[in-house]
Structures are given as C-alpha cells and as structure tokens.
Amino acid sequence: MTKKKIFKTDDIPLEKFNKLSIQVSLNGLSFCVLDTISNTITNSERQVFDKILNPFELQNNLRTLLEKHQIHKTSFSEVIVVHSNGLFSFVPKSLFDENELANYLKLNAKILANDHLAYDALENYDMVNVYVPFVNINNYIFELFGEFEYKHNGTVLVEALLNNSGANKEPICYVHVDGQQMSITVISQKKLQLHNSFTFTSKEDFIYYLLFTMEQLNLETETTKLKLFGSIEEDDEIYKLCYSYIKDITIFIPSITSYPMADTDKNNIDFTLISAL
C-alpha cells in the first residue's frame, strides 16, 4: 500500500506553488511563470528570431533563455510546454484511431518515418489534434524538470477560442499572429469550421493565405467578421492591407486571464502561452 504524503504548507518551498508555461516554435519562443498563491505572473520573456531555426538551434536558444532567468534551477508545481508548428491535423473524435496517427498527418504535412507523433484530445468538443512535437525539446525539458505536460498550440488556441465564443450564427474568422506564423481559426455557432497555420515572410503572403482560406470556406469578404490578434496592431502594414480587402476587421483583445502582471511586460505574454496554464 502506498501512503499519500501530506505536507504542512509551511514546509513546502514557495517554488512549489509556481507554474511554468513554455511555448516553442522555429521562429520564436516564450515563457511565463505563474505564482498560484498570489495568482500573479511573476516572470516572462518572449523572443522572435530573425530567421527560421532548426530544432537544435531552437533548443540552444531555449537553454540560454532559461539559464538567463535561472528557470533551470527552479522547482515548479507544474510545467507545460506548448509546441507551435504546422505539423498537425484535427480529427473528429468519432473517426479517431490512435493506431492511424501517421495517416491523419500525411495528407496535411510532410512527415518522416521516424517522427514521433502525439495527439491532444479536446474532450468538450469531440476532436483530437494529431501533431509532431519537438522531441529534442521534450527530452531537454524532462532532463530539467522531470514529468511535465505538453500539447500543441493549435489545441490551446482552438480550445480557448471555442470556450469564449458565443452562439453566433455567422462565422467569425480569427487570425493569431506570432512572428512569421499566422494561425487561422474559423468558428460558427461554437463549432470549429477550420484551423490552419501558415508561415509568411511578407504582407502579400499573409493576405494570400487569408483570402485563399476564406474562399475555400465560401466566406464573403464584405460581411465576414475578421479578428486579428497577437503581434499585430492597427497601424501595421498587414492590418492596412487586410482592410483593403475585408471591411469588418478589428483587433481582437482577448481577456487572456485575470492574472495581474507583477514586474513583467504584458507584451511578453502570448495568448496561447498563458491559456495553457
């Protein structure tokens, strides 16, 4: 029989009440620390790379970032890693078979025979997100902290938007911008119509992917609501270009959390990063 250990609060290091959320992608990374006692974000940083890195360069940058903030020497009650890449596919739960992961992905993404595949179940929405995580990042995080949770940023993004969407009859097109990555999510009547991710290098790339997606879903540019959020503002060239094609456009400011920011910059806190907590 295994006895459950019981600790006095005074005997538990304060670090044990901290949660760590890390988001990694080939064009940037970020982290934040949540103090669950004060319900406050106590530390964070976000980096956008000048170029697309490979997974090993990404790991080196992550190591440097965590060492800079002494994160690698800190204990946490929970560690969550969010993998951001375009190697994913959403599957209806009724059609999902965990023995067929490669088949779900091969039509949407280029995968290798030795790629490790994973999936996240969105229990409340009868969907499963199948994806390729960064295995070297997972191994590195496990070496630092032991057991941890990981998921795909598409899972976090879709779940958060669905949780906060109303019963709108007309579809709403959300576009989350993170560096050179754009994630398009279309929701109608609290149901996911589409979620896809693209890497862009110019504003022309951005509008092409957006208009192509809208055309595929028969979304009218004159009437469809477009909500942009993430690293984009109204005075950005991308926003101005979008407005020349789509009239009902706004900057979406999600209530990402009620967590106050201690001595940290809100610009460091990405929507998916904090929604994963």
Query: What is the total residue count of the chain?
Result: 277
Residues 185 and 70 placed together within one structural domain of the fold: no
Residues 56 and 4 placed together within one structural domain of the fold: yes
Domains in the chain: how many in total? Answer: 2
Residues 181 and 80 placed together within one structural domain of the fold: no
CA distances from 166 to 121, 163, 169, 273 (A): 22, 9, 9, 23
Tell me what pLDDT residue 274 has. Answer: 85
Residue at 98 is within a domain: no
Residues 54 and 159 placed together within one structural domain of the fold: yes
Supply 210's token pair. Answer: 């957006």
Residues 76 and 209 placed together within one structural domain of the fold: no
The helix (H) or strand (E) run that includes residue 76 is none
CATH of the domain at 151: 3.30.420.40
- 77: containing domain: 1-85+134-164+255-277
Tell me the backbone φ, ψ of residue 266, rounded to 5 degrees. -60, -25
Tell me what pLDDT residue 168 has. Answer: 76
Residues 242 and 276 placed together within one structural domain of the fold: no
Residues 70 and 204 placed together within one structural domain of the fold: no
Residues 20 and 155 placed together within one structural domain of the fold: yes
Residue at 109 is within a domain: no
Distance (Å, rounded) from C-alpha 258 to C-alpha 228?
21
> Would you call 28 exposed, middle or buried from its count of C-beta atoms within 10 A (0-12, 13-18, 19+)?
buried
CB 119, CB 239: distance < 8 Å = no
Residues 80 and 185 placed together within one structural domain of the fold: no
Residues 150 and 271 placed together within one structural domain of the fold: yes
Q: What is the dihedral of CA 181, 205, 90, 216, to 10 degrees?
A: 160
Residue at 211 is within a domain: yes
Nearest to 219 by CA among 172, 174, 167, 251: 172
pTM of the model: 0.89
Distance (Å, rounded) from C-alpha 35 to C-alpha 31?
14
CA 207 to chain centre: 21
CA distances from 16 to 13, 20, 33, 276 (A): 6, 11, 12, 18
Residue at 183 is within a domain: yes
Provide the residue-wise pLDDT of the chain in tens; the chain has 277 residues.
333 332 334 444 555 789 999 999 999 999 999 999 988 899 999 999 999 999 999 999 999 999 999 999 999 999 999 999 999 999 999 999 999 999 999 988 888 888 999 999 999 999 999 999 999 999 999 999 999 999 999 999 999 999 988 777 899 999 999 988 999 999 999 999 999 999 999 999 999 999 999 999 999 999 999 999 999 999 999 999 999 999 999 999 876 555 655 555 555 567 888 888 8
Residue at 127 is within a domain: no
Residues 272 and 181 placed together within one structural domain of the fold: no
Residues 158 and 25 placed together within one structural domain of the fold: yes
CB 91, CB 104: distance < 8 Å = yes
Which residues are within 8 A (CB) of 92 and not within 5 positions of it... i.e. 6 or more apart? 126, 127, 128
Tell me what pLDDT residue 161 has. Answer: 94
CATH of the domain at 201: 3.30.420.260
